[in-house]
Chain A
Amino acid sequence: MKHHVGEHKARKGLIRVEIDEENGIAENVKITGDFFIHPEETIGELEKELKGHKLEELEHVIDEFFAMRMDIEMPYVNVEDFKIAIKNALKD
């Protein structure tokens, strides 16, 4: 199991992504940081969505997740910020 950690500073807040990788699969993904997202339950749902995907699919999963959700508000943070945090984690 390899543990990847990546951080990215959005306009408001740091986004930290931790990925437990086994043979190219994200077995577990944890998103932490001091950003805001409403409703707050969104982050747990996104983590669940990312789990079990190949590493190279993760950015696409993020795009799809947010494209389907019209109820989410992220002040000073955008979808790209989450993707950059993932990219930074996978560089690690």
Chain B
Amino acid sequence: MRFIPLIVARPEVQMAIDEAIMRARIEGKVPDTVRLYAFSPSSVTIGRFQSVRHDVDLDVAGKLGIPVVRRITGGGSVFHDEFGEITYSVVVGEDYHPALRNVEESYRYLAGPLVDALKELGLDAGFSGLNDIVANGKKISGSAQTRRKGVILQHGTFMYATRVDVLAKVLRISKAKLSDKGVSNIWERVTILEREGIKLNRWETYELLKDKFSAAFELEEDQLTDYELELAEKLIEARYGNPEWNEMR
């Protein structure tokens, strides 16, 4: 698989690149691809079907200069702290491995390197539900995927030093969701590496994740093609940089 080294950019750029890779892969123009990236400035991405009004506190986001971008994938809202999380994405043909045919198994297969990383750090880590990863019983990572024409795009977050107080302020997490998980507030549900006693910076986290993804998928470092960059530019205009898309629900 191709590996695209860390890209730090705005949320509309990151979301456009993920979709551009998927489109190019569907057209057979690029190989299966793993990449790691970080958001700058700190951003919120919301799931394909989420309601901006219900699920994000837009006043807080506005005051803190946090852009809000809608993903192509379903699932929930994510706070991508500029210096507190790394996002991964994998674009892969469904025929790469038998585990990819089943949605539940595919989440675990593709996000497996994150669990490997947490275990190497000495944490009790594993999957929870469909798409979450927990460390010492609390959520530290979530993933989302879409499937089109035999190709999967899965992306997800890995929190090493996310400011959970900012996360709690900017995301509107419904009471129904928290009480369903048997907890009354976000602090009981979410954790970060730092809170588990492990202090890593962006580069250390990046190198650890890169190692674990390389071990799982045999990666070869390369860069995005001109075709993907052109597609990404069009997608920023048509979708991820466009209020019509971001505020559609």
Contacts and interface: CB of A to CB of B under 8 A. Distances in A.
Is chain B's interface secondary structure helix, strand, loop, or mixed overall? loop
A38 B49 contact: no
Nearest to B248: A44
Given A12-B129, A75-B103, A34 B176 contact: no
A75 B54 contact: no
Contacts of B55: 32, 34
Given A12-B131, A75-B130, A33 B103 contact: no
Contacts of A34: 47, 49-50, 55, 74-77, 177
Interface in B50-84: 50-51, 54-55, 72-77
Contacts of B129: 11-12, 76
Interface residues of A, number: 22
Given A40-B49, A76-B129, 20 more contacts: A9-B177, A9-B180, A12-B129, A30-B51, A32-B49, A32-B51, A32-B249, A33-B47, A33-B50, A34-B50, A34-B77, A35-B74, A36-B75, A36-B144, A36-B145, A39-B148, A40-B48, A40-B72, A75-B104, A75-B130
Interface of A: 7, 9, 11-14, 16, 30-40, 43, 73, 75-76
